[in-house]
Amino acid sequence: MSRKTARELALHMIFEMDFTGEPCGPLLSKRLNPDCFSGFAGEDKLYQQLPDERDAAYIRRLTTGVSQHLAELDTYIERYSVGWKFGRISRIVTCIMRLSMFEILYLPDVPNSVSINEAVELAKRYDTPEAASFINGILGTFVRKEVSES
């Protein structure tokens, strides 16, 4: 499984947590198992292959990290969504930005440009081209203003 696929699966779980309010631990236990994947395999090609240990660890790291840093990530989204009230941003766009910001802040092995590009591609898949541009602008500004160059 590619990291891109693992990231997209993590997005599904982050979105589900946001939508249902289900805690991260139980949700991950429920979703990262063979029965769940076989149940969804016919509906979505992402679920045709169960993540291996490495990919499952990455999915857990993203999902848990977003859950643990939710308030911080949402503060950044509010700060850089100039002219937009947080509640007006679609739930999936918010989840995509949370995931990308978490990667940028806490996963140094993921280049910022890769995280932003993947976020834009996820927005194109799950929302609109306008949402993709919105995400690109916010994440680009976020990186320029919040992330120190090493």
pLDDT tens-digit map of 125-138: 999 999 999 999 99
Residue 149 has pLDDT above 60, yes or no: no
pLDDT at 150: 44
pLDDT at 85: 77
Q: Distance of CA 132 to CAs 88, 95, 107, Å?
A: 15, 13, 22
Query: How far apart are the C-alpha atoms of 97 and 105, rounded to whole Å?
Result: 12
- Given 3-state DSSP classes, what are the helix, strand and coil percentages for the chain, each rounded to the nearest 5? 75, 0, 25
The pLDDT-based confidence of 83 (bands split at 50, 70, 90) is confident
Averaged over 74-96, what is the pLDDT?
A: 89
Residue 106 has pLDDT above 80, yes or no: yes
Q: Are 86 and 78 in contact (CB under 8 A)?
A: yes
Percentage of the chain modeled with pLDDT above 90: 87
pLDDT at 75: 95
Q: Are 80 and 4 in contact (CB under 8 A)?
A: no
How confident is the prediction for the chain on average, in pLDDT? 93
Amino acid at 8: E
Amino acid at 37: F
pLDDT at 79: 93
pLDDT at 86: 74
- State in Å, rounded, how far the first CA of the chain is from the last one: 30
User: Looking at residue 83, what DSSP letter applies?
Assistant: T
Q: What is the pTM of this model?
A: 0.93
Averaged over 40-48, what is the pLDDT?
A: 91
